[in-house]
Amino acid sequence: MVCINPARQHRYEEMRREARYRDAAAELIVDGAFDGSRNAYKWYEALRRHTDSDATARIRSERQQAIERDYAQEAQERSVLRQRDEYKISALHEGLSRDISQGKVATAEPPVWIGDVIENVPALELSVIEHLQQHSADFAKLPWDVSEHLFAEFFSSQGWTDVRLVGRDPRTSADIFVSNVPGEGRRARRVFVEIKQHKSKVGIEIVQSVLGAYVLERPKYEWQYAVIISPRGFKKFRKTSTPELRIRGIELKDGGWLLGNLKSYKPNRNGLWLPHPRRQMPD
């Protein structure tokens, strides 16, 4: 049993609080509290484990509480951001849908904050086109598949009766298939449409590549001509010109064509002309 002089108890307690366990044990030996160093260091080890275990538990508890506080705060912030984005997208697809009455579309202007979420819209909606008619610069924020649907919508609104998004069909190199229903005494016209959404102007190398694909597929699909759409425009060609390319069956459409179609676009009585485009080439 350990006998400690009451007069030195306070000193030993200070040493214990300061983690000076070996010093305390040494003084205990000098004071004759133990019969030898072996028993003194046993007491020291027991005292250290007990003290360390309390300190470790306290530190672990404080650390866990801090982690839980940080996690709760982060979860709350994520929840607020998610609710805001869900509200915006929901409003874009539901709250901003145009009420159709007697074949007329409401003319209310969409809120300008559509531009904040336009890069995340999953599909083309009439409200997106209405926003672009007022803020054409936001076209660059559109996802590529939504912008392709927009171009297909333009062709459909111009009277083409069979417009398809075929960029993922391995049977063709075209992005959009455009055709019309043949009338009496005339065959259907088929147009090969290629979209180049580059950050810079398109050069002659890309035009030649599209021309080659168009020529190779022409016997199979009976293409009448090809259209290359580049919203960024085209570089100046030194060995050819736009009229010469048109003679070869290639028409070039730049950002002016996009702005012109946005300006002249009119929806039909049900909204989009091409709400659910087909995505396979015709047999």
Q: pLDDT value at position 116?
A: 63
Higher-confidence residue of 49 and 70: namely 70
Question: Tell me, what amino acid is at 106?
Answer: A
Q: pLDDT value at position 132?
A: 93
30: pLDDT confidence band, cut at 50, 70 and 90?
A: low
3-state secondary structure labels for all residues of the chain: CCCCCHHHHHHHHHHHHCCCHHHHHHHHHHCCCCCCHHHHHHHHHHHHHHHHHHHHHHHHHHHHHHHHHHHHHHHHHHHHHHHHHHHHHHHHHHHCCCCEECCEECCCCCCCCHHHHHHHCCCCCHHHHHHHHHCHHHHHHCCHHHHHHHHHHHHHHCCCCEEEECCCCCCCCCCEEEECCCCCCCCCCEEEEEECCCCCCECHHHHHHHHHHHHHHHHHHCCCEEEEECCCCECCCCCCCHHHHHHCCEEEECHHHHHHHHHHCCCECCECCCCCCECCCCC
State pLDDT tens for residues 138-153: 999 899 999 999 999 9
CB hemisphere CA count around 24 (13 angstroms): 23
State pLDDT tens for residues 82-135: 666 665 666 555 544 544 444 444 444 444 445 567 888 889 999 899 999 998
Please provide residue 137's backbone torsions phi and psi, each rounded to the nearest 5 degrees: -65, -20
Q: pLDDT value at position 110?
A: 46
Best CA proximity match to 205, nearest among 180, 176, 174, 240: 240
**Percentage of the chain with pLDDT > 90?**
47
Q: Which CATH class is domain 144-264?
A: alpha beta
Q: pLDDT value at position 50?
A: 58
Tokens for 37, please give them.
């160093």
* 139 alpha carbon, distance to own chain's centre: 15
The residues, any chain, with a CB within 8 Å of residue 146's CB and separated by 6 or more, are: 121, 122, 123, 124, 128
State pLDDT tens for residues 38-63: 555 555 566 656 555 565 666 667 76
**Domain range summary for the chain, segments of one domain joined by +:** 6-69, 144-264
pLDDT above 80 (res 156): yes
Q: Which of 31-35, 87-91, 179-183, 184-188 has the lowest mean pLDDT?
A: 31-35
State pLDDT tens for residues 192-212: 999 999 889 999 999 999 999
Q: pLDDT value at position 62?
A: 72
Question: Tell me, what amino acid is at 26?
Answer: A
Q: pLDDT value at position 1?
A: 44
The residues, any chain, with a CB within 8 Å of residue 124's CB and separated by 6 or more, are: 146, 149, 150, 153, 272
Q: pLDDT value at position 163?
A: 97
Q: pLDDT value at position 245?
A: 94
Burial class of residue 216, CB neighbours in 10 A (0-12, 13-18, 19+): exposed
